[in-house]
Amino acid sequence: MRIDVLNGVNLNLLSRRDPVLYGGLSLSELDSRIYKWASELGCQVRCRQTNSEGLFVAWCHDAAEVTDGIIVNPAAWTHYSWAIRDALELTGKPVVEVHLSNVDEREEWRRFSVLEDVRDHRVVGKGPDGYREALEYLVNRS
């Protein structure tokens, strides 16, 4: 099983964000954990991060051709990027939405996700371990 992990805007600066909310890791450390978990679960992953919405959309298009499932943390784009929503819908692949913090208990604007009707599963507020749950969900679906 091949899985793309697509991280969005500002996650390249993950280590600078509030460790209580975001887990205190750098993006590189998070990616290392994801690769380790994937190996343990017997799947292959490709981790990507961008601050360019257009590139994120292009990666969704690419994922449709080369993956069996997609894990996304679009970050702030979650709340308003209909382009990302449409690109994920077009993949035809199972999508898991992940947020390190519990967006349901934060500011009102963070509680809305444009991905609601195209995602298969959602994980919030579990820090880095949310990515493991997302991987497990996709592996167990196959």
Is a pLDDT exceeding 70 seen at residue 17?
yes
Q: How confident is the model at residue 106 (pLDDT cuts 50, 70, 90)?
A: low
Radius of gyration of the chain (CA): 14
Catalytic: 22? yes
Tell me, what's the pLDDT at 110?
65
> Cα(117)–Cα(114) distance, rounded to whole angstroms?
8
Tell me, what's the pLDDT at 101?
86
Tell me, what's the pLDDT at 13?
92
Tell me, what's the pLDDT at 18?
74
Summarize the confidence of residues 121-142 as an average pLDDT: 95
Which of 22, 35, 121, 131 does the annotation list as catalytic?
A: 22
> Cα(70)–Cα(61) distance, rounded to whole angstroms?
11
Q: How confident is the model at residue 54 (pLDDT cuts 50, 70, 90)?
A: very high
Is a pLDDT exceeding 90 seen at residue 24?
no
Tell me, what's the pLDDT at 15?
87
Q: How confident is the model at residue 112 (pLDDT cuts 50, 70, 90)?
A: confident
Which of 35, 99, 121, 137 does the annotation list as catalytic?
A: 99
Q: How confident is the model at residue 94 (pLDDT cuts 50, 70, 90)?
A: very high
Is a pLDDT exceeding 90 seen at residue 104?
no
Please say whether the beta carbons of 72 and 99 come within 8 A.
no
Catalytic: 137? no
Please say whether the beta carbons of 73 and 115 come within 8 A.
no
